[in-house]
Amino acid sequence: MDLRNQTMVTEFYFSDFPQFENGSLLFFIPLLFIYMFIIAGNFMIFFAVRLDTRLHNPMYNFISIFSFLEIWYTTVTIPKMLSNLISEKKTISFIGCLLQMYFFHSLGVAEGLILMVMAIDRYVAICNPLRYPTIMTPRLCVQLSAGSCIFGFLELLPEIVWISTLPFCGPNQIHQLFCDFEPVLRLACTDTSMILVEDVIHAISILISVSVITLSYLRIIIVILKFPSGESRQKAFSTCAAHITIFLLFFGSVTLMYLRFSATFPPLLDKAIALMFTVLAPFFNPIIYSLRNKDMKDAIKKVFCSQTLPNVSGSH
């Protein structure tokens, strides 16, 4: 009964968005463009892989799943950011906030696991090429992809359920660009020290993923350097460079945000780090995977340009 009387907050207010009259459109237009580019770019990669039989192999299959997850990962936060930039009422309901936290982090965990699976896939392909077809079977690829997504959505569930039971009696201002664990838990009217246990669990899972990916690529680089042919070496490096860049962008910003424990950053730096992994990293992913990859570029042209420009293809 006492707890019910304390739980008064039904919505949260985002306090760190510029007011409309102070030029929020200057933020709105670039952010809208970036979001549209992320959605279009990742959809193109996803459908190019699905529709072009030349890309029906484990590496591109994992890339397409990563792109599909990126679409939803950004959709969880960016549309609400856009809405907050132009609306006077920059609020989110309590349930909406919980759902945003859950889906954002669950999709993020799933993406991290897919990146780990991609690193293992490249490790087997380059370090054990003769056994690659028998190891990375279509069935195993489906199991690894599904397992990454299922684990991502299950890992965060206990924490979200626990947060939903906490009393929130004010204040209700979230000092971040979206609902995240630390800013929301600061507003709870009770002891939230139990969250430290969850933080340690998250840190361990992040460190395991980072360690596996780092060791895989270190071993890959050592093997590539032993290749006798310079052309083979360059092709292998080019393929892995895209994966390593995405890994550094994704886990670099995640590490800065979630593996700092008691360390505090200035508010402006906090927002910059948040923008890095919610907006900038997803923005660069389609560029890295499509513009730097000839097979992907050819597949995108084949799937989209041949359908949108039938007369041009017919006149050839």
Greater model confidence, 72 or 293: 72
Q: Give the pLDDT mean for 37-54.
A: 92
Greater model confidence, 170 or 46: 46
Establish if 209 belongs to a structural domain: yes
Q: How confident is the model at residue 244 (pLDDT cuts 50, 70, 90)?
A: confident
State percent of the chain over pLDDT 70.
87
Establish if 316 belongs to a structural domain: no
When divided into structural domains, the chain yields a total of 1
Establish if 294 belongs to a structural domain: yes
Establish if 143 belongs to a structural domain: yes
**Average pLDDT, whole number, for the chain?**
83
Supply angle C-alpha 17, 99, 270, rounded to 5.
35
Asked whether the predicted pLDDT for residue 275 surpasses 90, the reply is no
Establish if 315 belongs to a structural domain: no
pLDDT digits (tens, 9 = 90+) for 208-227: 888 999 999 999 888 888 87
Report the CATH number at residue 166: 1.20.1070.10
In the chain, the amino acid numbered 125 is A
Residue 23 pLDDT: 59
Residue 144 pLDDT: 95
Residue 283 pLDDT: 92
Asked whether the predicted pLDDT for residue 188 surpasses 70, the reply is yes
Q: How confident is the model at residue 61 (pLDDT cuts 50, 70, 90)?
A: very high
Asked whether the predicted pLDDT for residue 32 surpasses 90, the reply is yes
Asked whether the predicted pLDDT for residue 2 surpasses 80, the reply is no
CA distance 262 to 236: 41
Residue 238 pLDDT: 75
H, E, C per residue of 187-201: CCCCCCCCHHHHHHH
H, E, C per residue of 98-152: HHHHHHHHHHHHHHHHHHHHHHHHHHHHHHCCCCHHHHCCHHHHHHHHHHHHHHH
Establish if 171 belongs to a structural domain: yes
Residue 4 pLDDT: 47
Greater model confidence, 18 or 52: 52
Q: How confident is the model at residue 135 (pLDDT cuts 50, 70, 90)?
A: very high
Greater model confidence, 248 or 74: 74
Containing structural domain, residue 208: 2-310
If you count them, how many residues does the chain have? 316
- Strand 11-14 to strand 91-93: parallel, antiparallel, or no bridges (unpaired)? antiparallel
Establish if 156 belongs to a structural domain: yes
Residue 229 pLDDT: 72
Asked whether the predicted pLDDT for residue 302 surpasses 90, the reply is no
Longest dimension (CA), the chain: 77
Q: Could you tell me if residue 264 is left (phi over 0), alpha (psi between -120 and 50 degrees) or otherwise beta?
A: beta
